[in-house]
Amino acid sequence: MRNESIRYLIVPGWQGSPDDHWQTHWQNSLPNSFRVEQADWLKPRREDWVGELQRAIAADSTPVILIAHSLGCITVAHWAELAPRQSLQQVRGALLVAPADVERPNCSPSLRNFAPIPKHLMPFPTQVISSDNDSAVSTERALELALGWGAEVGILSGAGHINVKSGHQRWEQGFAHLYRLQNRMEQHTLRRA
């Protein structure tokens, strides 16, 4: 997992990722990892969140892997639709875990300004990991989003929203998905060479 030439950007979702969340564990475990901090974790504004992601990517010229959860995944999709070419080229891949369907009928009104969800191909290798019992996104919708984004998808059984509440504090098994993404990134780089 050690790759000094890659910067891992942790992109939390609504309400941030607490100390016992897998994203925090990963941030503490992965070298060169940084968290995208938002000014308001409770009342997210799409423009603010996308802007903060852009600032975090542009803060350093090092290549980036995005590791997003929930609303962070939707933030990445909006960012990828609007980002300058140079920033897009900096991102080598994205691991999008438990993307929140902000268009679902029971979605919190606080998140509705992130709708509609962009459905364009991501310009970098992308891996979507979801669960067959996630209250924030149905399996069908997760598959639809992954297809639109051109992402490889993995559906976990009974994993909930893949957060602390569903028992994913450290989520060591998740590193296998990151390894898989990094292998796809290497193949992508070889094809472009």
Please report, for the chain, the start and end positions of each structural domain, with discontinuous segments joined by +. Answer: 7-192
Average pLDDT, the chain: 93
CATH architecture of 7-192: 3-Layer(aba) Sandwich (3.40)
Q: In degrees to the nearest 10, what's the CA dihedral of 92, 123, 131, 162? A: 40
CA distances from residue 147 to 2, 5, 164 in whole angstroms, order as listed:
30, 29, 27
Contact between 31 and 4 under an 8 Å Cβ cutoff? The reply is yes
pLDDT digits (tens, 9 = 90+) for 34-83: 999 999 999 999 999 999 999 999 999 999 999 999 999 999 999 999 99
Using CA atoms, how far apart are residues 86 and 40, in angstroms rounded to an integer?
Answer: 27
Angle (deg, nearest 10), helices 174-192 and 22-29: 60
Q: Tell me what pLDDT residue 192 has.
A: 67
Residue 30 above 60 pLDDT? Answer: yes
The predicted model gives 139-145 an average pLDDT of 97
CA proximity to 124, closest of 1, 9, 2? 9
Q: In degrees to the nearest 10, what's the CA dihedral of 34, 39, 43, 47? A: -80
Using CA atoms, how far apart are residues 162 and 21, in angstroms rounded to an integer?
Answer: 9
Q: Is 11 helix (H, G, I), strand (E, B) or coil?
A: strand
Lowest mean pLDDT segment, chosen from 45-49, 81-85, 129-133, 170-174 = 170-174
Please, what sign has the CA dihedral across residues 188, 139, 103, 177? negative
DSSP characters over 91-132 = EEEEEEES---TTSTT--GGGGGGPSPP-PPPSS-EEEEEET
Q: Tell me what pLDDT residue 56 has.
A: 98
**Better-scored residue on pLDDT, 10 or 170:** 10
